[in-house]
Structure 1
Amino acid sequence: MADTDATTSGPYPLAEPGLWVERVGSRVFPAGAPALFLDRDGTVNVDTGYPDDPAKMVLCDDIAAAIGAANRAGIPVIVVTNQSGIARGYFGWSEFAAVNGRVLDLLRADNASVDMVLACAYHEAGEGPLAIADHPMRKPNPGMLLEAGKRLGLDLPRSLIVGDKPADMEAGRRAGLSRGWLVDGESAVQSGFTVWPWRDREDFGGLLAAIAALGAVSGRP
């Protein structure tokens, strides 16, 4: 069993024992910019269960193109990921750091970059300080999106979220976003939040159009 490395005094960007908040790169965004929020496992990279091996990381189809479109439009790209494997003791923050670094490197090799990564390790099945049920930072709760919004001064209602689970969409809705794209999902509308499916090239085109529209509103080409 791996060491959980659950400490704010270690070498990792932990805002608290179970919350990773990493600012990636140095791009500066104007106050009130909308963002592209992304789940990680199953959305950015192919889901391998409890990912602890960087060598097994493979990007999902078309995700680099979506992220690259946001980069060109001047839209912050933010990964928000639940990582209960850390709470369960399957791996620690060191393994998370290695896997996450590999995912970011794969994106960079495909001309796409992420601006912030937030990861929540809290889970009711965990041990010690990570054993918290329904933590506000764990999706479907909106804590990670709200934290990113506060740190970057984002316009959350105009932001988008892409994920492969209903919990991702619910986190977006609770954070005040108005739209999300659900990988292999169905369309739905709930309390002013619209879920669009991402199953094929037509759906992907709709996501790219939405990203481009955000860039146009933000004054970018």
Structure 2
Amino acid sequence: MDQYPEAVLFDRDGTLIRDVPYNGDPARVSLMPGALESVRGLRARGVRTGVVSNQSGIGRGMLSWAEVSAVNGRVEELLGRFDTWQVCPHHPEEGCACRKPRPGLVLAACAALDVDPARTVVIGDIGADVDAAHAAGAEAVLVPTPRTLREEVDRAPRVAPDLVTALAVLR
């Protein structure tokens, strides 16, 4: 990409905040290194920001929408308001069109922001984030964590060691 994209969509768990499986408690939210600097840097350049997040805990009956909303609210207290939130509440076996690696969340975010997926980048920590981006026609940057599989890193076209470096990869 020769210039910054129009929009950057972040995965939530493991990308913006530390991954606490099925977290419904805002008090357990802590930022990933570089999250604040990255989001502020994008906003300073006029780049729209959004979050695309699978939250299967809702479909599994382990979380309520209110709990997920409370956690998302805490994320915004720490990082500022995002231009769009797109959340898939479905159980993985439901076969919905929104659950990453399918493109539904990315396409919905682009529609909400009125941006072309081709001018959008998705930043996430697992292969499903990269696959969802590509399925929607967007670009992707993988920021691996210990949870990221080696084969996901190997097949990702763009990999950055952290969120701050991911911004440099966007240029």
TMscore range, shorter length: 0.7 to 0.9
Give 1:172 deviation, angstroms.
0.3
Give the conservation status (yes or no) of the 8 Å contact 2:118–2:139: yes
**Residue from 136, 155, 159 that aligns with 1:197:** 159
Residue 55 of structure 2 corresponds to 83
Percent of aligned pairs with the same residue?
Answer: 34
Residue 60 of structure 1 corresponds to 32
Task: Report the 3-state secondary structure (helix = DSSP H, G, I; strand = E; otherwise coil) of the residue aligned with 2:90.
Answer: coil
Q: Does 1:117 find its partner at 2:85?
A: yes
Report the count of equivalent residues: 161
CA distance in 2, matches of 1:124, 1:62: 30
CA distance in 1, matches of 2:164, 2:104: 27
Q: Does 1:38 find its partner at 2:32?
A: no
Q: Does 1:164 find its partner at 2:125?
A: yes
Larger Rg: 1
Task: Report the 3-state secondary structure (helix = DSSP H, G, I; strand = E; otherwise coil) of the residue aligned with 1:174.
Answer: helix
Give 1:151 deviation, angstroms.
2.3
Give 1:162 deviation, angstroms.
0.8
Task: Report the 3-state secondary structure (helix = DSSP H, G, I; strand = E; otherwise coil) of the residue aligned with 2:57.
Answer: helix
Is the alpha carbon distance of 1:124 and 1:61 closer, same or farther for their aligned partners in structure 2, counting shifts above 3 Å?
closer
Higher relative helix content: 2
Residue 17 of structure 1 corresponds to none
Structure 2 unaligned regions, length at least 5: none
CA distance in 1, matches of 2:85, 2:111: 14
* CA RMSD of superposed structures (Å): 1.9
Deviating 4+ runs (over 3 angstroms): none
Is the alpha carbon distance of 1:187 and 1:114 closer, same or farther for their aligned partners in structure 2, counting shifts above 3 Å?
farther
CA distance in 1, matches of 2:22, 2:16: 15
Structure 1 unaligned regions, length at least 5: 1-32, 126-131, 214-221
Task: Report the 3-state secondary structure (helix = DSSP H, G, I; strand = E; otherwise coil) of the residue aligned with 2:76.
Answer: helix
